[in-house]
């Protein structure tokens, strides 16, 4: 079978490129637009953002000209006419990324659960493949989206380049070779600050040209918890403890560090997901074998003495790799990563401050809540609220102290939310499936 690069070259040669609709032109979306324009066989045909200037700047920064190479549209009909003329489209209407006739694949890069749910459902209903660079949506309702897409004959997938997709490549490689995969993990490049807020990180976010909410979600640990949840739902591995251990170490330390306590490590059990401070931005798996000749060869290849060995990828290119997931979906009908194991783990909700009845909540990367990595079984037993269900209309009914888990009974959810409705349907039909 030809590699993806050859297949994309063939599409370019035959003037049959993949047309993608990208929702979200922030830091991740802008990089994706530039990368896609550098590739053969792909086109960022529609770029959507709530701020039209973000979508415009994504093309301008990539060297295209407004009016000549791309133009603004507000309706599907107007966008279809522009695309037929070979003109790319910018818009604030995310339906253009999923409903235009020529679009092959929609990509959500917003990181906003409610938007991700809408984009995914619209794509599936319109027979478009859907790539979710929005793990926040996936870990909450990904299983039902995966089932709906499969039933519709399209691909639902997480993204290459995001840490769950990057580590699954190593996991699949190791499993295919017959290794005993003991730990799946990722690095973290900043110490967790549970108390950080968008205001406290605003200056740093400005220097890095990032959204303060996005940076806050990294620093308060929520993003790491979300990513580990996606890894769990793809592999069936669990948190060793709620929130994971989050130890510190270098790559060379991982085989010993991530062994059982009885073996001198930190773990209570194997087949778990972990994060390590000090090995970012990479991802890793810990493998083992009982075969003497394999052990000898791994030692000969300078992989260590065993019984545990680390396979480590020292980079993940985030949204720059996302076009490859779109290409795999369209060309080969293959996802990069999906929650094929069902709901194995949750990103549960933890109070970031003392919360009182009547308080409204602000979700991921905000002032009031953060996420934690918890097994689905424990979350169900404790009635823990999935973080992805929270939006600005979510209201507290009961007091919850800082650092405590927030439960379904503690809040009044926004019943008009698509996330809430899809999660109810997922719980009724698919949990444990």
Q: Residue 60 to residues 43, 56, 283, 352: CA-CA distances in angstroms?
A: 15, 6, 33, 39
| pTM score | 0.95
The tokens of 206 are what?
Answer: 């400005």
Domain layout of the chain by residue ranges: 4-161+319-332, 163-315, 345-429
Check whether domain 345-429 has CATH 3.30.390, yes or no: no
Dihedral over Cα of 22, 24, 29, 33: its sign? positive
The tokens of 185 are what?
Answer: 């993990």
Q: Tens digit of pLDDT per residue, the chain (433 long)?
A: 679 999 999 999 999 999 999 999 998 999 999 999 999 999 999 999 999 999 999 999 999 999 999 999 999 999 999 999 999 999 999 999 999 999 999 999 999 999 999 999 999 999 999 999 999 999 999 999 999 999 999 999 999 999 999 999 999 999 999 999 999 999 998 889 999 999 999 999 899 888 899 899 999 999 999 999 999 999 999 999 999 999 999 999 999 999 999 999 999 999 999 999 999 889 999 999 999 999 999 999 999 999 999 999 999 999 999 999 999 999 999 999 999 999 999 999 999 999 999 999 998 999 999 999 999 999 999 999 999 999 999 999 999 999 999 999 999 999 999 999 999 999 998 754 4
Check whether domain 4-161+319-332 has CATH 3.40.50.450, yes or no: no
Burial of 350 (0-12, 13-18, 19+ CB in 10 A): buried
């Amino acid at each position: 079978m030809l590699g993806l690069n050859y297949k994309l070259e063939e599409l370019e040669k035959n003037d049959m490129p993949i047309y993608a609709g990208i929702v979200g032109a922030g830091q991740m979306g802008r990089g994706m637009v530039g990368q896609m324009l550098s590739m053969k066989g792909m086109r960022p045909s529609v770029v959507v953002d709530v701020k039209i200037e973000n979508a415009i700047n994504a093309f301008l920064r990539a060297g295209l000209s407004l009016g000549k190479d791309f133009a603004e549209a507000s309706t599907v009909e107007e966008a279809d006419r522009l695309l037929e003329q070979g003109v790319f489209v910018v818009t604030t209407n995310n339906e253009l990324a999923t409903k235009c006739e020529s679009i092959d694949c929609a990509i959500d890069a917003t990181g906003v659960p409610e938007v991700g749910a809408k984009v995914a459902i619209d794509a599936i209903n319109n027979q478009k493949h859907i790539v979710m660079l929005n793990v926040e949506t996936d870990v909450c309702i990904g299983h039902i989206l995966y089932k709906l897409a499969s039933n519709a004959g399209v691909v639902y997938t997480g993204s290459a380049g995001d840490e769950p997709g990057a580590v699954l490549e190593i996991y699949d490689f190791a499993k295919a070779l017959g290794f005993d995969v003991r730990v799946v993990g990722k690095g973290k490049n900043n110490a967790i600050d549970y108390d950080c807020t968008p205001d406290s990180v605003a200056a740093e976010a400005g220097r890095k040209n990032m959204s303060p909410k996005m940076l806050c979600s990294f620093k308060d640990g929520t993003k790491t918890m979300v990513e580990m949840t996606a890894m769990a739902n793809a592999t069936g591995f669990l948190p060793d403890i709620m929130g994971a251990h989050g130890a510190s170490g270098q790559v060379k330390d991982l085989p010993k560090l991530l062994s059982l306590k009885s073996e001198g490590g930190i773990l209570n059990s194997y087949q778990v997901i972990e994060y390590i401070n000090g090995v970012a931005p990479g991802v890793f798996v810990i493998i083992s074998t009982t075969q003497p000749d394999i052990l000898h060869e791994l030692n000969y290849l300078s992989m260590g003495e065993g019984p545990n060995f680390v396979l480590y990828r020292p980079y993940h290119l985030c949204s720059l790799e996302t076009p490859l997931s779109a290409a795999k979906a369209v060309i080969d009908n293959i996802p990069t990563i999906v929650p094929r194991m069902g709901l194995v783990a949750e990103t549960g909700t933890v109070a970031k401050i003392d919360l009182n009845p009547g308080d409204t909540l602000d979700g991921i990367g905000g002032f009031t809540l953060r996420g934690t990595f918890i097994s689905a079984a424990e979350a169900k037993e404790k009635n823990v609220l999935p973080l992805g269900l929270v939006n600005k209309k979510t209201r507290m009914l009961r007091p919850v102290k800082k650092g405590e888990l927030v439960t379904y009974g503690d809040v009044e959810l926004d019943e008009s939310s698509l996330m809430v409705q899809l999660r109810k349907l997922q719980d009724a039909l698919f949990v444990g499936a």
